[in-house]
Amino acid sequence: LRKGSSSEWRDAFWNPRTHELLGRTASSWGLILLFYLVFYLFLAGMFVLTMYIMLLTLDDYKPTWQDRLATPGMMIHPKGDQLEITFSVSETESWDRFTQTLNTFLSPYNDSYQVQMNDNCPPDQFFIQEDSGEVRNNPKRSCQFNRSMLEECAGISDRFYGYSRGQPCVLIKLNRVIGMLPGKNGQSPYVTCGAKREDGDKLGPLAYYPPNGTFNLMYYPYYGKKAQVNYTQPLVAVKFLNASVNTDINVECKINSNTLEAGSERDKFAGRVSFKLRINHT
Amino acid sequence: MNLAICLLLQDDHEITIEELETRYNTSVTKGLTSTFASQVLERDGPNELKPPKGTPEYVKFARQLAGGLQCLMWVAAVICFIAFGIEVARGNVTAFDNLYLAITLISVVVVTGCFGYYQEFKSTNIIASFKNLVPQQAIVIRDGQKNQINAHQLVVGDLVEIKGGDRVPADIRIISGQACKVDNSSLTGESEPQSKTPECTHENPLETKNIAFFSTTCLEGVATGVIINTGDRTIIGRIASLASGVGNEKTPIAIEIEHFVDIIAGLAIFFGFTFFVVAMFIGYAFLEAMIFFMAIVVAYVPEGLLATVTVCLSLTAKRLARKNCVVKNLEAVETLGSTSVICSDKTGTLTQNRMTVAHLWFDNHVHAADTTEDQSGQSFDQSSETWRSLARVASLCNRATFRPDQEGVPIPKRLVVGDASETALLKFTELTVGNIMDYRNRFKKVVEVPFNSTNKFQLSIHELEDPLDLRYLLVMKGAPERILERCSTILIKGQELPLDEQWSEAFQTAYMDLGGLGERVLGFCHIYLNEKEFPRGYAFDPDEMNFTTSGLCFAGLISMIDPPRATVPDAVMKCRTAGIRVVMVTGDHPITARAIAANVGIISEGSETVEDIAQRKRIPVEQVNKRDARACVISGGQLKDMSSEELDDALRNHPEMVFARTSPQQKLIIVESCQRLGSIVAVTGDGVNDSPALKKADIGVAMGIAGSDAAKNAADMILLDDNFASIVTGVEQGRLIFDNLKKSIAYTLTKNIPELTPYLIYITVSVPLPLGCITILFIELATDIFPSVSLAYEKAESDIMHLKPRNPRQHRLVNEALAVYSYFQIGRCSFAGFTDYFTAMAQEGWYPLLCVGLRSQWENVHLQDVQDSYGQEWTFSQRLYQEYTCYTVFFVSIEICQISDVLIRKTRRLSVFQQGFFRSVKTHPKHASLGIMYLNSTQLVQWWFVPVPYGILIFVYDEIRKLGVRRYPGSWWDQELYY
Q: State the pLDDT at residue B753.
A: 85
Query: Contact B713/B687 with Cβ under 8 angstroms?
Result: no
Backbone angles phi, psi at B941, to 5 degrees: -60, -30
Alpha carbon distance A2, B703 (integer Å): 43
The rounded Cα B339 to chain-centroid distance in angstroms is 11
Task: Say yes or no: B971 contacts chain A, CB-CB below 8 A.
Answer: no
Residue in B825, B845, B875 nearest the CB of A267 = B875
Report the sign of the C-alpha dihedral through residues B766, B768, B770, B774, in that order. Answer: positive
User: Residue B524 in 3-state DSSP?
Assistant: strand
Q: Average the pLDDT over A185-209 and give the result.
A: 86
Residues of chain B with pLDDT > 90: what percent?
A: 5
Alpha carbon distance A165, A153 (integer Å): 13
Q: Which of A100-104, B683-687, B774-778, B972-976 has the highest mean pLDDT?
A: A100-104
Q: Which of B727, B707, B640 is nearest to B185 (CA)?
A: B707
Taking CA atoms, what residue in A is nearest to B862?
Answer: A82
Task: With beta carbons under 8 A apart, name residues in chain B contacting A65.
Answer: 843-844
Map A164-194 to HEC letters: HHCCCEEEEEECCCECCCCCCCCCCCEEEEE
Average pLDDT, chain A: 86
- Cβ neighbours of residue B934 closer than 8 Å, sequence gap 6 or more: B783, B892, B895
Residue A222 DSSP symbol:
B
The identity of residue B592, as a single letter, is T
Query: Contact A87/A181 with Cβ under 8 angstroms?
Result: no
Task: Say yes or no: B884 contacts chain A, CB-CB below 8 A.
Answer: no
Q: How confident is the model at residue B951 (pLDDT cuts 50, 70, 90)?
A: confident
Query: Contact A95/A161 with Cβ under 8 angstroms?
Result: no
The identity of residue B113, as a single letter, is G
- Closest Cα in chain B, distance from residue A16 (Å): 22
Q: Average the pLDDT over A97-110 and give the result.
A: 91
Q: Which of A54, A220, A265 to mutate to test the interface with B (most CBs of B within 10 A)?
A: A54
Q: Per-residue pLDDT for B6 more than 50?
A: no
Asked if the Cβ–Cβ distance from B873 to A269 is below 8 Å, we say no
Identify the bridge partners of residue B658 per DSSP, sorted by sequence position: B584, B633
Asked if the Cβ–Cβ distance from A50 to B835 is below 8 Å, we say yes
Asked if the Cβ–Cβ distance from A270 to B953 is below 8 Å, we say no
User: Residue B167 in 3-state DSSP?
Assistant: strand
Catalytic residues of B: 345
- Closest Cα in chain A, distance from residue B520 (Å): 55
Query: Contact B213/B234 with Cβ under 8 angstroms?
Result: yes
Taking CA atoms, what residue in B is nearest to A23?
Answer: B816
Q: Per-residue pLDDT for B133 more than 50?
A: no
Enter the ipTM: 0.90
Alpha carbon distance B708, B702 (integer Å): 8
Q: Per-residue pLDDT for A126 more than 50?
A: yes
- E runs forming strands in A210-281: 235-240, 248-256, 272-280
The rounded Cα B922 to chain-centroid distance in angstroms is 32
- Closest Cα in chain B, distance from residue A135 (Å): 20
CB-based burial label for B95 (10 Å; 0-12, 13-18, 19+): middle
Task: Say yes or no: B974 contacts chain A, CB-CB below 8 A.
Answer: no
Query: Contact B938/B884 with Cβ under 8 angstroms?
Result: no
The arrangement of strands across the sheet holding A272-280 comes to A84-88, A272-280, A248-256, A190-195
Identify the bridge partners of residue B554 per DSSP, sorted by sequence position: B490, B525
B379 CB neighbour count, 10 Å cutoff: 12
The identity of residue B723, as a single letter, is N
- Cβ neighbours of residue B956 closer than 8 Å, sequence gap 6 or more: none
Q: Which of B208, B120, B118 is nearest to B172 (CA)?
A: B208
CB-based burial label for A90 (10 Å; 0-12, 13-18, 19+): exposed
Alpha carbon distance B5, B845 (integer Å): 87
Q: Average the pLDDT over B425-438 and give the result.
A: 86
Q: Is the peptide bond before A221 cis (omega within 30 degrees of 0)?
A: yes
- Closest Cα in chain A, distance from residue B952 (Å): 12
What's the number of CA atoms in the CB half-sphere (13 Å) around residue B857? 14
Residue in A64, A222, A269 nearest the CB of B875 = A269
Map B325-379 to HEC letters: EEECCCCHHHHHHHCCEEEECCCCCCECCCCEEEEEEECCEEEECCCCCCCCCCC
Alpha carbon distance B3, A275 (integer Å): 86
Q: State the pLDDT at residue B927.
A: 45
A45-54, B187-196, B451-460, B622-631: least confidently modelled range: B187-196
Alpha carbon distance B625, B192 (integer Å): 35
Report the sign of the C-alpha dihedral through residues B940, B943, B945, B951, in that order. Answer: negative
Query: Contact B788/B744 with Cβ under 8 angstroms?
Result: yes
Asked if the Cβ–Cβ distance from B878 to A73 is below 8 Å, we say yes
For B549-603, what is each residue's pLDDT tens digit?
A: 888 999 999 999 888 888 888 889 988 888 899 999 887 788 888 888 888 888 8
CB-based burial label for B645 (10 Å; 0-12, 13-18, 19+): exposed
Task: Say yes or no: B958 contacts chain A, CB-CB below 8 A.
Answer: no
Alpha carbon distance B529, B182 (integer Å): 36
Q: Is the peptide bond before B410 cis (omega within 30 degrees of 0)?
A: no
For B843-871, what is each residue's pLDDT tens digit?
A: 889 999 999 989 888 988 888 889 999 99
- Closest Cα in chain B, distance from residue A227 (Å): 9
Q: State the pLDDT at residue B132.
A: 47
For B473-494, what is each residue's pLDDT tens digit?
A: 999 999 898 888 889 999 888 8
Q: State the pLDDT at residue A3.
A: 44
Taking CA atoms, what residue in A is nearest to B831?
Answer: A47
For A132-153, what is each residue's pLDDT tens digit?
A: 777 777 788 889 999 988 888 8
Taking CA atoms, what residue in B is nearest to A270?
Answer: B875
Task: Say yes or no: B877 contacts chain A, CB-CB below 8 A.
Answer: yes
Residue in B824, B843, B865 nearest the CB of A75 = B865
Task: Say yes or no: A7 contacts chain B, CB-CB below 8 A.
Answer: no
Task: Say yes or no: A245 contacts chain B, CB-CB below 8 A.
Answer: no
Q: Per-residue pLDDT for B632 more than 60?
A: yes
Alpha carbon distance B151, B169 (integer Å): 6
Q: Per-residue pLDDT for A208 more than 90?
A: yes
B501 CB neighbour count, 10 Å cutoff: 7
- Cβ neighbours of residue A227 closer than 8 Å, sequence gap 6 or more: A61, A136, A138, A139, A140
User: Residue B173 in 3-state DSSP?
Assistant: strand
Taking CA atoms, what residue in A is nearest to B824?
Answer: A36
Per-residue exposure over B259-274, b if at least 16 CB sit within 10 Å of its own CB, e if not = ebbebbbebbeebbee
Backbone angles phi, psi at B89, to 5 degrees: -60, -30
Q: How confident is the model at residue A191 (pLDDT cuts 50, 70, 90)?
A: very high
- Cβ neighbours of residue B186 closer than 8 Å, sequence gap 6 or more: B215, B216, B217, B236, B686, B687, B688, B689, B708
For B897-934, what is each residue's pLDDT tens digit?
A: 888 888 888 888 888 887 776 554 433 434 444 454 44
